[in-house]
Amino acid sequence: MTLALGCIADDYTGASDLANTLTRCGLRTVQTIGIPADDLDLPEVDAVVVSLKSRSIEAGLAIERSRAAEKWIRSRGADHVLFKICSTFDSTDAGNIGPVMDALRADSGDAIVLVTPAFPETGRTVYQGNLFVGAVPLNESPLKDHPLNPMHDSNLVRVLARQSAAKVGLLDLATVTRGPEAVRAHLDGLVAKGFGAVIADAVFGLDLETLGVVALGHRVSVGASGLGLGLARALVASGRVASQPVCATTDDPVGGSAACLAGSCSQATLQQIARAEQTMPVLRLDPERIVTGAEETARALAWAKERLGQGPILIASSSTPDQVAAVQARHGRDAAGHAIEQAMADLAEGLVQAGVRRLVVAGGETSGAVVDRLGIPGFLVGAEIAPGVPVLRAVGAPPAMLLALKSGNFGGAEFFRDALQLMR
């Protein structure tokens, strides 16, 4: 198998978002959890998104991990590597976008790297190098108060220049709208003046397509899911990838029992659990007993095993904001959250041992704990259950399994039913 596109994402949810975007563009895509093992057994795919957690770690470590991911991607034949960053350019003056970009550029031999976090369909546009989040510049958006990387400057040419050893230029919208030839000529001019990176303006979807065509001629680019979309469209348009219908990738039924786990306490999830109660057995865990002992998980597993043969079940720790506040007041927020996440991971492990092969998980952190515990190295991305929530097929590790991992607020009222309908 030769990859048409390899991506390195600096966080897990960003990786899922990109993998979902590439899949919707017709690329068969696998998202791996961390740097894959050399011998990871992959199905036939066009793209791999390697998920790292390198956004806020020390820059040297981010470079080391990104380089290891790049090495694996290149070993699978990909010509182009997209370094996937957040569409709000989350970073500090110490990195990690600039340092990782510099390292990947040095490895690739590219003279100049095209950089853009633009994704107009989600309200991220770049004009004259300034990033807008909806109608406001980045430094007036809620990102100005981000706890880890507050963004106080909307001018990305300046922001990137502070992080990178390269001279950073601008590829302005007027040039982008004139198409790939004009963009290439502009980049050649910048290279001649010693520039090594360029922030590209993009305001409309068409701009991303132009940038995707040009980026494909390079070995490395830096961007958010928007640039991923541009690259994917360019790969399909050039005939290098034959566009696939999304469902084909996960259509193969896995059978086995089905179960849902809910650790999210969001409004949407609480409503979804209430709806699920009308169609399947639901066990509501006692959060207090989870935090103080292990019997609650054993009780839940015994309850589940009695019912799995008759159809899907749901186990939830989720409770209302005042109940959550009470548990947190007694045990501390982090300790309570961690104990409940680990209980959910115990349950997932026990359910799989009991024959569950279709597993729906509600809650971002909860999903992370479950996936880590199950030791799943990666996922093939399939049909969307709800916007941003695809069906996933575990790859590289027996047994064959389908999962849906939903962050709290996602999905409609019938999410659990909708998910299970697509997971056969």
Nearer to ligand ADP, 169 or 408 (CB): 408
Find the angle CA(240)-CA(102)-CA(219) to the nearest 5 degrees.
15
If binding is defined by CB under 6 A, does position 348 make contact with ligand ADP?
no
Q: How far is CA 226 from its chain centroid?
A: 13
> Shortest Cβ distance from residue 320 to ligand ADP (Å)?
9
If binding is defined by CB under 6 A, does position 324 make contact with ligand ADP?
yes
If binding is defined by CB under 6 A, does position 411 make contact with ligand ADP?
no
If binding is defined by CB under 6 A, does position 408 make contact with ligand ADP?
yes
CB 44 within 8 A of CB 27: no
Name the region of 21 (left: φ>0; alpha: ψ -120 to 50; beta: rest). Answer: alpha
> Shortest Cβ distance from residue 406 to ligand ADP (Å)?
8
Query: Exactly one of 24, 57, 319, 354 binds ligand ADP (CB under 6 A); which one?
Result: 319
Stretch that binds ligand ADP, among 84-92, 157-165, 213-221, 262-270 (CB under 6 A): 262-270
Stretch that binds ligand ADP, among 71-79, 147-155, 189-197, 360-368 (CB under 6 A): 360-368
* Calpha distance 113→187 (Å, rounded): 9
Sign of CA pseudo-dihedral 184, 185, 187, 188: positive
Query: Exactly one of 81, 265, 391, 419 binds ligand ADP (CB under 6 A); which one?
Result: 265
If binding is defined by CB under 6 A, does position 270 make contact with ligand ADP?
no
Stretch that binds ligand ADP, among 104-112, 214-222, 301-309, 335-343 (CB under 6 A): 335-343
* Calpha distance 123→178 (Å, rounded): 22
Sign of CA pseudo-dihedral 199, 202, 205, 207: negative
Query: Exactly one of 336, 345, 420, 422 binds ligand ADP (CB under 6 A); which one?
Result: 336
If binding is defined by CB under 6 A, does position 287 make contact with ligand ADP?
yes
> Shortest Cβ distance from residue 328 to ligand ADP (Å)?
6
Cβ contacts of 9 within 8 Å, gap of 6 or more: 15, 18, 49, 50, 51, 52, 84
Contacts with ligand ADP: how many residues (CB under 6 A)?
Answer: 21
> Shortest Cβ distance from residue 344 to ligand ADP (Å)?
7
> Shortest Cβ distance from residue 318 to ligand ADP (Å)?
5
Query: Exactly one of 14, 256, 312, 337 binds ligand ADP (CB under 6 A); which one?
Result: 337
Q: Give the residue nearest to ligand ADP (CB).
A: 408
Q: How far is CA 366 from its chain centroid?
A: 15
CB 63 within 8 A of CB 165: no
CB 64 within 8 A of CB 202: no
Nearer to ligand ADP, 308 or 327 (CB): 327
CB 266 within 8 A of CB 272: no
> E strands along 34-184, which residues?
47-51, 81-84, 113-116, 124-127, 130-133, 136-137, 168-171
Q: Give the binding site for ligand ADP (CB under 6 A).
A: 263-266, 287, 317-319, 324, 327-328, 336-337, 340-341, 363-366, 407-408
